[in-house]
């Protein structure tokens, strides 16, 4: 095994953080609870790399959980941000920048004819849910087990394996009354969704899903599942919502809906469109979006929404992404990584199932196939934990959970991938 890194300073800062912030972090997964051991504390990020405060360098496959698709601190993004900064940090008034980013999103994402900017993916999803309910006059929604749509009450529902599990809150503090209208079904199971529509005729406002799941590991949809959902929701007078907070501008410039050729009614976005600053968005058909205040009666607002720095970073990021060859590069680099890992695992006698689309990938320590969260849960979590720690020690920063997708960027090179695979070879040999 590689020799342990010196992480003395990280350990001290994280120990202090635990007295200052719950669990020592601003967002739970960062605390490494599911893989054990202390997290490393970042000092700076650049390109494909992150450095901790002890000076250790890592090849970073988390990319701030998705936004860093051009590579961290891309010079073009930093340059326009510096100029924008001199004009002020927040306007709280209309700006040309909002028009520009809105036009870029509308042009790129097939379902989006109008868009509203917010500050996070959570906000985008909770707002879209209000809009779905208002537009249809129905209250129930269907989500899929293992899909994450932010931390709003209505989405925090036990991801039970049973079909038609009536929403039991996943967290204390979430009233049963807010999740009672949330129905769940297993991903890639169209029959389960059809059964829910049969069980609750004219009561379901719509279906929301991660079109490619990244919050239960990496799970690819069957084409028939997505097409079937499109048809079923149409027949039932319900809305189809793609939560593309993770997949938007990541697996294709037009997101999963462009990649799979299935156009939902509404779409949520986040991560990439903010270029590393806090942004979310929701958009869709004009006749639905015109229900949003002040054009329509559905209230939703935000002091910092459309923030000029965030809009600037988003515009610069999309300008880089829309250059020819971008997604082909991401596809090639990510496939080298995941195919290399699968080959090494087989060589060392470990069952590993994995895949990638463009700059998004995942792998499970199990033979697979994995079509749903229910199947993902059969993975060997202890093996993942030991693999994760070994890779970290070898200078590779992977998402600290078996149930999170990984990300590459335009800054990752074949040399980075080869370095990663050399580390994996060692770690897998000793698992
Ligand atoms: C698919 C999806 N939806 C919503 C969210 C919530 O976004 P945020 O963390 O910006 O609130 C996430 C976050 O990872 C996500 O992956």
For residue 390, the domain's CATH number is 3.90.1150.10
Ranking 15-29, 146-160, 314-328 by mean pLDDT, the lowest is: 146-160
Write down the pLDDT at residue 169.
Answer: 67
Statement to judge: residues 312 and 164 lie in one domain: yes
Which residue, judged by its Cα, is nearest atom 16 of ligand 1? Answer: 246
Write down the pLDDT at residue 198.
Answer: 98
Statement to judge: residues 17 and 116 lie in one domain: no
Residue 67 placed within a domain: no
Q: Please give all residues whose beta carbon lies within 6 A of any atom in ligand 1, as ranges.
A: 65, 120-122, 125, 148-150, 210, 214-215, 243, 245-246, 270, 280
Total structural domains within the chain: 2
Mark whether 271 is an active-site residue.
yes
Cα(332)–Cα(359) distance, integer angstroms: 9
Q: Summarize the confidence of residues 154-159 as an average pLDDT.
A: 76
CA 36 to ligand 1 center in whole angstroms: 23
Confidence of residue 171 (pLDDT cuts 50, 70, 90): confident
List the Cα angle 309/314/317 in 5-degree steps: 125
CA 215 to ligand 1 center in whole angstroms: 9
Q: Is the pLDDT of residue 253 over 90?
A: yes
Residue 82 placed within a domain: yes
Which residue, judged by its Cα, is nearest atom 3 of ligand 1? Answer: 149
Task: Name the percent of the chain lying above pLDDT 70.
Answer: 97
Mark whether 148 is an active-site residue.
yes
Nearest ligand 1 atom, CA 214: 16
Domain boundary among 286, 321, 356: 321
Q: Summarize the confidence of residues 219-232 as an average pLDDT.
A: 98
Query: Residue 28: CA atoms inside 13 Å, Cβ hemisphere, count?
Result: 6
Residue 1 placed within a domain: no
Which residue, judged by its Cα, is nearest atom 4 of ligand 1? Answer: 149
Domain boundary among 321, 353, 376: 321
Statement to judge: residues 367 and 284 lie in one domain: no
Q: Summarize the confidence of residues 332-336 as an average pLDDT.
A: 98
Report pTM: 0.97
Q: Summarize the confidence of residues 227-253 as an average pLDDT.
A: 98
pLDDT in tens, 302-313: 999 999 999 999
Mark whether 373 is an active-site residue.
no
Residue 411 placed within a domain: yes
Q: Summarize the confidence of residues 209-215 as an average pLDDT.
A: 96
| Catalytic choice (140, 259, 271, 383) | 271
Residue 3 placed within a domain: no
Residue 69 placed within a domain: no
Statement to judge: residues 359 and 273 lie in one domain: no
Write down the pLDDT at residue 170.
Answer: 74
Domain boundary among 321, 353, 383: 321
Residue 126 placed within a domain: yes
Q: Is the pLDDT of residue 342 over 60?
A: yes
Statement to judge: residues 295 and 343 lie in one domain: no
Q: Among 215, 247, 406, name the best residue to mutate to test ligand 1's pocket (greatest count of ligand atoms within 8 A of Cβ).
A: 215
Write down the pLDDT at residue 99.
Answer: 98
Write the CATH number for 280. 3.40.640.10
Q: Which two tokens stand for residue 349?
A: 């006698």
Statement to judge: residues 137 and 278 lie in one domain: yes
Mean pLDDT for all residues in the chain: 95
Q: What is the sign, positive or negative, of the torsion defined by CA atoms of 59, 61, 65, 70?
A: positive
CA 271 to ligand 1 center in whole angstroms: 8
Q: Summarize the confidence of residues 93-117 as an average pLDDT.
A: 98
pLDDT in tens, 120-136: 999 999 999 999 999 99
Q: Is the pLDDT of residue 157 over 90?
A: no
Q: In terms of residue numbers, what domain contains 302?
A: 75-321
Confidence of residue 160 (pLDDT cuts 50, 70, 90): very low
Statement to judge: residues 258 and 362 lie in one domain: no
Q: Is the pLDDT of residue 3 over 80?
A: no
């Amino acid at each position: 095994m590689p020799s342990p890194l010196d992480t003395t300073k990280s350990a001290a800062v994280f120990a202090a953080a635990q007295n200052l912030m719950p669990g020592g972090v601003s967002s739970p997964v960062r605390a490494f609870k599911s893989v054990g051991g202390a997290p490393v504390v970042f000092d700076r990020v650049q390109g494909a790399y992150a450095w901790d405060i002890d000076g250790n360098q890592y090849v970073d496959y988390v990319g701030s959980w998705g936004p860093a698709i051009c590579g961290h601190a891309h010079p073009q993004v930093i340059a326009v941000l510096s100029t924008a900064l001199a004009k002020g940090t927040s306007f709280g008034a209309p700006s040309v920048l909002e028009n520009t980013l809105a036009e870029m999103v509308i042009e790129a994402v097939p379902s989006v004819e109008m868009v509203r900017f917010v500050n996070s993916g959570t906000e985008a999803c909770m707002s879209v849910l209000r809009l779905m309910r208002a537009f249809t006059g129905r209250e129930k929604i269907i989500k899929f087990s293992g899909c994450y749509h932010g931390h709003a009450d209505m989405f925090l529902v036990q991801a039970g394996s049973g079909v038609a599990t009536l929403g039991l809150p996943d967290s204390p503090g979430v009233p049963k009354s807010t999740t009672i209208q949330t129905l769940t079904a297993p991903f890639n199971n169209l029959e389960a969704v059809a059964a829910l529509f049969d069980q609750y005729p004219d009561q379901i406002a719509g279906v929301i899903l991660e079109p490619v799941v990244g919050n239960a590991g990496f799970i690819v949809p069957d084409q028939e599942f997505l097409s079937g959902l499109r048809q079923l929701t149409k027949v039932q007078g319900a809305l189809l919502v793609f939560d593309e907070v993770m997949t938007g501008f990541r697996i294709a410039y037009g997101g999963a809906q462009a990649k799979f050729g299935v156009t939902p009614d509404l779409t949520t976005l986040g991560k990439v469109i903010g270029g590393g600053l806090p942004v979310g968005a929701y958009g869709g058909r004009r006749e639905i979006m015109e229900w949003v205040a002040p054009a329509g009666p559905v209230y939703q607002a935000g002091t910092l929404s459309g923030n000029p720095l965030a809009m600037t970073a988003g515009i610069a990021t999309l300008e880089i992404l829309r250059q020819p060859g971008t997604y082909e590069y991401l596809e090639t680099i990510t496939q080298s990584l995941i195919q290399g890992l699968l080959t090494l695992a087989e060589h060392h006698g470990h069952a590993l199932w994995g895949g990638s689309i463009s700059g998004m990938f995942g792998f499970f320590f199990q033979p697979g196939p994995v079509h749903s969260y229910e199947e993902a849960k059969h993975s060997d979590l202890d093996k993942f934990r030991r693999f994760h720690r070994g890779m970290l020690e070898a200078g590779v920063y992977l998402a600290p959970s078996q149930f999170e997708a990984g990300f590459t960027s335009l800054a990752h090179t074949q040399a980075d991938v080869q370095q990663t695979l050399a580390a994996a070879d060692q770690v897998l040999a000793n698992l």
